[in-house]
Chains A and B, each alone.
Chain A
Amino acid sequence: MAEISFPLPDLGEGLIEATVLDWLVSPGDQVERNQPLVELETSKSALELPSPQAGKVVRIHGAPGDTINVGEPLIVFEVPDNTAGIVGTVPKDDAPKRRVRLSAVLDED
């Protein structure tokens, strides 16, 4: 087994820190990718941070009320050795982009 640490990701739009409202997982929990990990409050709004990956939670950083800077450690997962090299990013659930086929359709005539 190996450990992967995830820092507080860039929350966008010039936000440099966030305050922990409540952890939704505890050390020892097995979490799925995209499962909400923690409730955070920024100067703009409150949000839930989804898990960047599946794994067992080893450590969490910051108690409710604590402020964490972007880039500082937030959570550590234990994962099987062969996946430890894959560094995750927070998944973005963007709307699918419209695809345009540029190649000519040859089989129509």
Chain B
Amino acid sequence: MTGRHTVELHHTVEGTDPGLFVEVHEPATDAGLRPVLLIHGFSSSSKLNWADAGWIARLQEAGRRVITVDLPGHGQSGSPEDLDSYSPSRIRADLLQIVIDSGARPLRDGDPSTGLDVIGYSLGSRLAWEFGATQSELVHRMVLGGPSNADPLAAFDLVAAQKHLADGTPIEDESTAGLLKMAQLVPGNDLFALLSLIEAIKGEPFDPAEAAPHMPVLLVAGDKDERAVSLPELAALAGRVGGLAEQLLVPGRNHTNVVTSRAFKDAAVAFLGV
């Protein structure tokens, strides 16, 4: 049987405990490769994005040790009161502490057990892009699913969303209405926490050109995902700093349903299996 255990975040970053839910999933037979960190998308969770969609089992089959983290206000993580706990920079700092506490070690030439591979989806890909750009001594390779070169969350109309939640006033902006609807679809979602996350992201919107990852990156999107147009632009940004970016478009899939695709999983497992 394959093992699974939760990890306590022993070291707080910035002196406060963000209450993030972390699990480490051990493979039945360890391939001896570095651990894989999975970062889920907005309004999702490690369970929805990775477990139910078959990713954890697929990676374990490939002999990989998998670290999952629920983002603040998502899944089984806490919903901190302070806005700072939701800022992308703070989340990246917490992720770094979590992977170190879970056994990831800086990359050493010739030792495939060192370093960390990262798979992100959507907002998780944004966090991974920035994480990889600043952690080149730790991150070996990354797979970024449904990434965007713009920031749909930073463009979210918070005032309209709050009005809508208070008295049902219709939301004019289509993207805002869609994101809020998606957030409301998942029972148990803490809307206050998700809106806090959006507010914090507005303070630190995604700018992929500011820092690009130098390590090899695989960019994946469904060809029916409107964000698929981001792939060549992100690849160009990575190329500008000497990074190698491969691109994969999955036929017939959109932003929601590319997540379970075999083509996506097979490509990710092969790309990270070196």
Contact = CB atoms under 8 A, between A and B. Distances in A.
Range, interface on chain A:
10 to 19
A44 B262 contact: no
A39 B261 contact: yes
A100 to B, nearest CB: 18
B29 interface: no
B158 interface: no
A21 B185 contact: no
Interface string B248-268: 000001001111111000000
B185 A43 contact: yes
Contact of B187 (A13, A21, A36, A41): A13
Contacts of B173: none
Given A21-B257, A21-B260, A22-B262, A48 B52 contact: yes
A43 B57 CA distance: 23
B185 A36 contact: no
Contact of A24 (B53, B253, B262): B262
Interface in B17-75: 44, 48-49, 51-54, 57
A44 B4 contact: no
Interface in A21-48: 21-22, 24, 36, 39-41, 43-48
A82 B102 CA distance: 46
B186 interface: yes
A74 to B, nearest CB: 16
B260 A48 contact: yes
Nearest to A40: B260
Contacts of A39: 257, 260-262
B262 A45 contact: no
Given A21-B257, A95-B4, A44 B54 contact: no
A14 interface: yes
A68 B51 CA distance: 22
Given A43-B185, A47-B52, 16 more contacts: A21-B257, A21-B261, A22-B261, A36-B54, A40-B260, A41-B260, A44-B185, A44-B186, A45-B49, A46-B256, A46-B257, A46-B259, A46-B260, A48-B54, A95-B4, A95-B6
Interface of A: 13-14, 21-22, 24, 36, 39-41, 43-48, 93, 95
